[in-house]
């Protein structure tokens, strides 16, 4: 199982990715979680990333590529993974394609295009997202940053939906329903064809 979870901030990517990863016994790899841990630990990477995260901006692609490359090479990523929050830009997706050729579980010497990868988009309207994010209370969940994160998503991440649609790797799910309903639908769409 090789899954990418896409969707705007507040769409429920993290919750659903964690539930399915537990169920399928594969790692849930959240670049946001990795970055937040680096910020708390005050590592050089965390120090560089913090200002971007606090402002609702994307952390520069180069930093993300190093993080993901290192994480994907860990032994637990061999049997598959759910990536949550990566790739988030077209250059990240292109980099990920080349990485998929090399990493364990990546499918061997093929391009990302040929891998058994699926990209899930959780679709949720903006007004629902803002309400959800304001009630979450994370440090970067104030109204100004939320607005900026949604704008950054539309500009830089949404083009990836077409990228994966063109390759027939896109799975679209309505995320504006209860957590249980979304999980059930994801299980139905994703299991069986892995
Ligand atoms: P998330 O927990 O996925 O909402 O990510 C929180 C913040 O971490 C984002 O607003 C970005 O600043 C940063 N971040 C996480 N993943 C990425 C990524 N793939 N590319 C750039 N920045 C990222």
Structural domains for the chain = 2-182 (3.40.50.300)
Q: What is the CA radius of gyration of the chain?
A: 16
Separation of alpha carbons 171 and 158, rounded Å: 14
Of 131, 119, 95, 100, the residue nearest 3 (C-alpha): 119
Measuring CA to CA, which residue among 31, 30, 29, 38 is closest to residue 78? 29
pLDDT-derived band at 194 (thresholds 50, 70, 90) equals very low
Q: Note the pLDDT of residue 75.
A: 94
Which atom of ligand 1 is found nearest the CA of 152?
10
pLDDT band at 102 (very low <50, low <70, confident <90, very high): low
DSSP label at 120? E
pLDDT band at 8 (very low <50, low <70, confident <90, very high): very high
Q: How does pLDDT run across 28-54, given as a tens digit for each residue?
A: 999 999 999 999 999 999 999 999 999
Q: What is the mean pLDDT of residues 17-32?
A: 96
pLDDT tens digits, one per residue of 103-162: 555 554 455 666 689 999 999 999 999 999 999 888 888 889 999 999 999 999 999 999
Protein residue with its CA nearest to atom 6 in ligand 1: 32
Query: What average pLDDT score do residues 62-90 get?
Result: 95
| Residue 25: active-site member | no
What's the Cα-to-Cα distance from 168 to each of 5, 9, 34, 62, 86, rounded to whole Å?
15, 24, 29, 27, 18
Ligand 1, atom 19: closest residue by C-alpha: 86
Our answer to whether residue 118 is catalytic in this structure is no
Between residues 192 and 187, the one the model is more confident about: 187
């Amino acid at each position: 199982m090789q899954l990418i979870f896409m969707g705007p901030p507040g769409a429920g990517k993290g919750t659903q990715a964690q539930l399915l990863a537990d169920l399928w016994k594969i790692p849930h790899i959240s670049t946001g979680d990795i970055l937040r841990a680096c910020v708390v630990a005050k590592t050089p990477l965390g120090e560089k990333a913090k200002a971007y995260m606090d402002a609702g901006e994307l952390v520069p692609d180069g930093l993300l590529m190093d993080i993901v490359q290192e994480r994907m090479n860990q032994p637990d990523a061999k049997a598959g993974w759910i990536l949550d929050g990566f790739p988030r830009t077209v250059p990240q997706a292109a980099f990920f394609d080349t990485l998929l050729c090399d990493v364990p579980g990546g499918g061997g010497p093929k391009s990302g295009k040929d891998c058994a990868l699926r990209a899930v988009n959780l679709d949720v309207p903006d007004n629902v997202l803002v309400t959800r994010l304001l009630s979450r209370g994370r440090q970067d969940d104030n109204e100004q940053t939320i607005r900026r994160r949604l704008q950054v998503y539309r500009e830089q991440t949404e083009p990836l939906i077409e990228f994966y649609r063109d390759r027939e790797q896109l799975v679209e799910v309505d995320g504006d329903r209860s957590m249980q309903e979304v999980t059930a639908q994801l299980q139905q769409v994703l299991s069986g064809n892995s």
